């Protein structure tokens, strides 16, 4: 059996979510190898196709989402303060123009903004290091018309508010992250390789086999194996999860295709504050402070929405740039003229690029929902990281700047999965009478998913867990027969079992060939490999001539089955863990061992 530590933990997707997970994991598990598989290049997905507004939640009419966004932005700013654009400069501050036809009244909006300001004040009071966006008093400021009338169509504006919100220099940040990844000996970034399939327990040693192809040559590559996957492939998360049988309910989340126009601004607009026209389907202008602007115009830029398992081919075409230059030009002009109704003169910008990316929200949402301000399109309350299956975590970044929380959540779930692994080993070990490899695979596949649904798993007594597992298997049409394979303290296993008793002879004849793959498989991740099994009188402390042996919990008459084991870690004594109620230790204590490395 290959040592668990040698296998990489695999992250699918090198967007902000995947990278944040990789960095947080590398810090918390300094000896673990991490492989990131990316079908294109670092940050080439939605992460690299947005203006990187480090929002404070001002464009959500949902205080919970706003506060979450504010807190997330504070975390990012505390860790990466060098990347904020125009901090300390008046033109760096984001402005919100409440439209006369706003879907919410100016009073309601102001009340929400005051709520966000109050939360900032509270956070600064709680920890002065949170005061990263200036003083709470300067957090928002109502503008006078003369402060904006020169570059904004003032007669559309009911109320104008300047905020402490800023943009983030994403290209500079991306270059910095690439250096960090390349400098980390434990993180291996594999670009231009797409994950095409994931298989679950196809062999007896590895939970997942990950199939891939080169996106440059189109050729299939040799699969890699891993026991832990962090699926960070954004719009493809559910599709890849479905490959190992994780069901997807249509309509449980929506992928919305959105586009963003990048322009070279005319000189007179190069110092204008980033502006959001709200609340409703209006427009946004982000000033990148280097002469470039990024624009959205809601009626045009929200392009398509899909809540099925996969995005459709047309959406995929836009994402991969499979769109004619005429169509691109037509969409770009529509956006430019749409925004010019709010910011006159912007139509004289030079069009640089039209980017398409995916925004994801909960529920089944249609494009027309963009007009309903109360629709779920406008909320992002949860971070979205999910414990899907033992060894599999879904990791979407619902907002770019939630990314630090993404990393923290992934580590938290993985910590729990590592602990849960021990429970699984103990449960699987109770099924010692199974001798069909296919049955063992099915059992492991079942437990890997079943265990996720059990709350407080780590505190539940093993006997109770086993009883529940037996019940649940009993009601599973194709797996109920496995229940008869559970070892109980009153049923001596193997006593009438010809196949096993032939394999288990005596120390002198026992070889590694005598260890059935099934038994090795039942005992995964101990600190030892079983080299041979043999029978010896119960109550003795036998040796196979090489090392002390451990008693397994099965007897054959007055003889006990012993295992000779090779430690798989340098300092390991070579112990194996067994169901506590069944174990009769002889020659070696029977102790659970931890499969994960010590955390810092």
Ligand X SMILES: Cc1cc2nc3c(=O)[nH]c(=O)nc-3n(C[C@H](O)[C@H](O)[C@H](O)COP(=O)(O)OP(=O)(O)OC[C@H]3O[C@@H](n4cnc5c(N)ncnc54)[C@H](O)[C@@H]3O)c2cc1C
Interface positions with ligand X (CB under 6 A):
12-18, 37-40, 44-47, 49-53, 55, 194-195, 232-234, 236, 258, 260, 357-359, 396-401
C-alpha closest to that of 575 among 540, 532, 526, 512: 526
342/401 with CB nearer ligand X: 401
**Minimum CB distance to ligand X, residue 599 (Å):** 25
Omega of the bond leading into 279 within 30 degrees of 0 (cis): yes
- Using CA of residue 418, residue 424, residue 426, residue 428, what is the dihedral sign? negative
> Which long-range contacts (C-beta less than 8 Å, at least 24 apart) are formed by 364-371?
364/250, 364/251, 364/252, 364/254, 364/307, 365/254, 365/256, 365/305, 365/307, 366/305, 367/256, 367/302, 367/303, 367/304, 367/305, 369/305, 370/281, 370/298, 370/302, 371/280, 371/281
Number of helices (H) and strands (E) in the chain: give both, helices first.
13, 24
- The DSSP output letter for 526 is S
Q: How far apart are CA 343 and CA 414, in angstroms?
A: 48
Query: CB 89 → ligand X: shortest distance, Å?
Result: 19
Query: What distance in Å separates the CA atoms of residue 92 and residue 72, rounded to the nearest whole number?
Result: 20
Q: Which residues pair with 505 in a beta bridge?
A: 534
Smallest distance from ligand X to CB 71, Å: 13
Q: Cα 404 to the chain's mean position, in Å? A: 12
Name the residue nearer to ligand X (CB basis): 18 or 293.
Answer: 18
In three-state secondary structure terms, 288 is coil
Take residue 406 and report the two structure tokens written for it: 């993404």
Identify which of residues 65 and 349 has a Cβ nearer to ligand X in the complex: 65
N- to C-terminal Cα distance for the chain? 27
Q: Return the number of the residue (18 or 507) whose C-beta is nearest ligand X.
A: 18
Residue 478 Cβ, how far from ligand X at the closest point, in Å?
A: 30
Q: Which is nearer to ligand X, 11 or 109 (CB)?
A: 11
**Smallest distance from the beta carbon of 355 to ligand X, in angstroms?**
7
Tally Cβ neighbours within 10 Å of residue 222: 6
Cβ closer to ligand X: 245 or 557? 245
DSSP class of 165: -
Q: How far is the CB of 228 from ligand X (least distance, A)?
A: 16
Select 52 or 493, whichever has its Cβ closest to ligand X.
Answer: 52
Q: How far is the CB of 94 from ligand X (least distance, A)?
A: 10
- The alpha carbon of 376 is separated from its chain's Cα centroid by a whole number of angstroms, namely 22
DSSP designation for 598: P
Across 507-529, b (16+ Cβ under 10 Å) vs e yields beebeeebbbebbbbbbbbbbbb
CB of 43 vs ligand X, minimal distance in Å: 7
User: Closest CB to ligand X among 69 and 562?
Assistant: 69
Is there a contact between 533 and 519 (Cβ–Cβ < 8 Å)? yes
- Residue nearest ligand X, Cβ-based: 15
As measured in angstroms, the least distance from the Cβ of 356 to ligand X is: 7
Closest approach of ligand X to the CB of residue 296, in Å: 6
55 or 574, CB closer to ligand X?
A: 55
In terms of residues, how long is the chain? 600
Contact at 8 Å (CB) between 186 and 33? yes
Nearer to ligand X (CB atom), residue 24 or residue 194: 194
Half-sphere exposure of 33 (CA within 13 A, CB side): 11
CB nearer to ligand X: pick between 234 and 418:
234
3-state secondary structure 48-60: HCCCCEECCCCCC
342/521 with CB nearer ligand X: 342
| Cα(517)–Cα(213) distance, integer angstroms | 30
* Closest approach of ligand X to the CB of residue 56, in Å: 11
Closer residue to ligand X (CB): 44 or 375:
44
| Comparison of 382 and 585: residue with beta carbon closer to ligand X | 382
Q: Report d(CA 169, CA 191) in Å as an integer.
A: 23
**What count of other Cβ atoms lies within 10 Å of the Cβ of residue 235?**
24
Of the pair 139, 297, the CB lying nearest ligand X is at 297
Min. distance of Cβ 128 from ligand X in angstroms? 25
Q: Minimum distance between the CB of residue 49 and ligand X, rounded to whole angstroms?
A: 5
The nearest distance, CB 545 to ligand X, in angstroms, is 50
Tokens (6 digits) for 317 = 């075409």
Write down the least CB distance from residue 179 to ligand X, Å. 18
Q: Which alpha helices (H) appear in 234-372, and where do they start and end?
A: 237-242, 298-301, 313-319, 325-340
Positions of E strands within 348-464: 350-362, 386-389, 392-394
């Amino acid at each position: 059996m290959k040592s668990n530590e040698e296998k990489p933990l695999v992250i699918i997707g090198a967007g902000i979510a995947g990278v944040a997970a990789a960095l947080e994991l590398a810090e918390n598990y300094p000896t673990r190898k991490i492989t990131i598989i990316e079908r294109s290049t670092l940050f080439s997905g939605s992460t690299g196709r947005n203006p990187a507004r480090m929002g404070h939640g001002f464009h959500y009419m949902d205080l919970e989402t706003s506060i979450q966004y504010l807190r997330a932005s504070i975390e990012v700013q505390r860790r990466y303060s060098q990347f904020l654009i125009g901090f300390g400069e008046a033109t760096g501050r984001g402005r919100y123009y409440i439209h006369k036809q706003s879907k919410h009244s100016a009073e309601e909006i102001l009340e929400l903004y005051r709520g966000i300001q109050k939360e900032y004040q509270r956070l600064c009071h709680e920890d002065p290091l949170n005061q990263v966006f200036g003083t709470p008093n300067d957090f928002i400021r109502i503008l006078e018309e003369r402060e904006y009338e020169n570059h904004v169509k003032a007669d559309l504006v009911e109320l104008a508010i300047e905020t402490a919100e800023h943009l983030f220099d994403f290209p500079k940040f991306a270059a910095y992250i690439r250096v960090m990844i390349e400098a980390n000996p434990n993180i291996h970034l594999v670009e231009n390789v797409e994950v095409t399939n994931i298989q679950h327990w196809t062999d007896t040693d590895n939970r997942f086999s990950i199939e891939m192809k080169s996106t440059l040559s189109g050729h299939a590559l040799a699969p890699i194996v891993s026991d832990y996957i962090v699926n960070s492939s954004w719009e493809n998360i559910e599709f890849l999860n479905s490959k190992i049988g994780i069901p997807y309910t249509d309509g449980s989340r929506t992928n919305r295709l959105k586009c963003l126009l990048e322009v070279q601004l005319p000189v007179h607009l190069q110092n204008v504050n980033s502006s959001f026209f709200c609340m409703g389907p209006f427009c946004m202008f982000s000033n990148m402070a280097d002469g470039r602007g990024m624009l959205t115009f809601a009626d045009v830029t929200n392009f398509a929405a899909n809540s099925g398992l996969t995005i459709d081919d047309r959406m995929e075409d836009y994402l991969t740039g499979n769109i004619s230059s005429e169509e691109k030009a037509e969409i770009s002009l529509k956006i430019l003229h749409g925004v010019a109704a709010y910011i006159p003169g912007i139509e004289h910008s030079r069009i640089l690029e039209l980017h398409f990316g995916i925004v994801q929200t909960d529920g089944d949402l249609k494009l027309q929902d963009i007009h309903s301000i109360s629709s779920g399109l406008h909320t992002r309350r949860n971070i979205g990281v999910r414990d899907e299956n033992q060894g599999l975590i879904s990791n979407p970044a619902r907002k770019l700047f939630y990314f630090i929380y993404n990393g923290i959540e992934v580590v938290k779930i993985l910590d729990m999965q590592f602990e849960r692994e021990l429970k699984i080993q103990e449960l699987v070990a109770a099924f010692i009478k199974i001798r069909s490899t296919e049955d063992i695979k099915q059992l492991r596949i079942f437990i890997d998913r079943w265990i996720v649904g059990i709350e407080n798993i780590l505190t539940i007594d093993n006997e109770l867990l086993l009883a529940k597992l037996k019940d649940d298997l009993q009601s599973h049409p194709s797996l109920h027969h496995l229940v008869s394979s559970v070892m109980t303290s009153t049923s001596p296993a193997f006593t009438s079992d010809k196949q096993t008793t032939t394999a288990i002879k005596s120390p002198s004849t026992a070889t590694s060939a005598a260890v059935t793959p099934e038994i090795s498989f039942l005992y995964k991740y101990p600190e030892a490999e079983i080299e041979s099994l043999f029978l010896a009188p119960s109550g003795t402390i036998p040796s196979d001539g090489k090392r002390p042996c451990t008693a397994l919990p099965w007897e054959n008459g007055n003889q006990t089955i012993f295992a000779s084991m090779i430690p798989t870690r340098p300092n390991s004594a070579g112990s194996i863990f067994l169901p506590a109620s069944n174990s009769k230790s002889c020659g070696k204590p029977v102790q659970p061992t931890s499969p994960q490395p010590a955390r810092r």
